[in-house]
Amino acid sequence: MAQEQGVSKDTVNRLWQLHNIKPHLSRTFKLSRDARFLEKLTDVVGLYLNPPQKAVVLCLDEKSQNSSAGSHPTRTAAQKGPVWHDDARL
């Protein structure tokens, strides 16, 4: 990651510590299926690495029209494990 971004490993480590990011403790990770994900990710990371002067950056979480409050059945105690946005159990 450091090499790809042109920064030192110490810089990456400092940023992870600053934001309490612990990728070594994550067992799973899902990338977005959005065809423009890489483009969007690059834009967001670029804003963090080189923020514009006198600008406000807003971030919104997109929700599909099918995902409305209360539309999912309640999980039972027998359904263990993490739940993802596209989990078939929902």
23 closest CA partner among 9, 34, 8, 13: 13
- DSSP 3-state assignment of 39? helix
Q: What is the pLDDT of residue 11?
A: 92
**Positive or negative, the Cα torsion across 14, 19, 51, 37?**
positive
Per-residue pLDDT of the chain (90 residues; tens, 9 = 90+): 888 889 999 999 999 898 888 888 877 767 788 889 889 888 888 888 888 888 776 777 766 655 555 555 555 555 666 655 555 544
Q: What is the pLDDT of residue 10?
A: 94
Q: What is the pLDDT of residue 54?
A: 84
Q: For residue 58, what are the CA distances in angstroms to 33, 44, 48, 52?
A: 22, 10, 12, 13
